[in-house]
Amino acid sequence: MIQDIDFSDENILRLKEFLSLNSGTNFKLFNLHDQVALANLDWSGFDEIKDQVLPLLFGYQRILRIMPKEREHYAFIFLKQGIHSALQIAGMTMKQYMTIAMELIPEDQKSAEEIYNGAIDKRSTVLVQYMDILQNSEPHISAARFN
């Protein structure tokens, strides 16, 4: 379950400052679970609040990964509304999502639709991976002898 994250204006500003410090890092591809890679980021001024910044970074990355190219700045607009996951978006009907999206980015219906489709694709990928893990951990699989 994705935890509730406080994407207040203050925290968004904090996140933007951290991203600015690490502007050479592609957070769309960065492995936030790699402790060595995390330690190599520039945490100047953020050392004491690292535990507050990291959840913001995870949420940013989740939403960033479904943003269309050249529209990655929309991630912050969605974060401010508490939308930080493809699964959150994919859990809505297209009509529900488009109502929200047209309030957030009224000038760009095409990108709003791309974001929704990206969220649906991401959910499908996650579900396939989840089912693969479930099926491969079944007792009969480990007991089977494959030559």
Please write the tens of the pLDDT for every residue from 13-60: 999 999 999 999 999 999 999 999 999 999 999 988 999 999 999 999
Nearest to 12 by CA among 79, 103, 107: 79
- Residue 4 belongs to some domain of the structure: no
Alpha carbon distance 114, 135 (integer Å): 31
Looking at the predicted structure, is the pLDDT value of residue 1 above 50? no
- Residue 3 belongs to some domain of the structure: no
Per-residue pLDDT tens over the stretch 88-128: 999 999 999 999 999 999 999 999 999 999 999 998 877 77
Token pair 């009907």 is at which residue? 93
- Residue 116 belongs to some domain of the structure: yes
- Residue 2 belongs to some domain of the structure: no
pTM (2 decimals)?
A: 0.82
- Residue 30 belongs to some domain of the structure: yes
- Residue 28 belongs to some domain of the structure: yes
Per-residue tokens: 145: 């002898």
- Residue 1 belongs to some domain of the structure: no
Looking at the predicted structure, is the pLDDT value of residue 145 above 90? no
Domain that holds residue 83: 9-143
Residue, of 68 and 143, whose pLDDT is higher: 68
Question: For the chain, what is the radius of gyration of the CA atoms?
Answer: 18
Structural domain count of the chain: 1
- Residue 95 belongs to some domain of the structure: yes
Looking at the predicted structure, is the pLDDT value of residue 143 above 60? yes
Q: What is the mean pLDDT of residues 54-83?
A: 95
pLDDT confidence of residue 3: 57
Alpha carbon distance 69, 75 (integer Å): 11
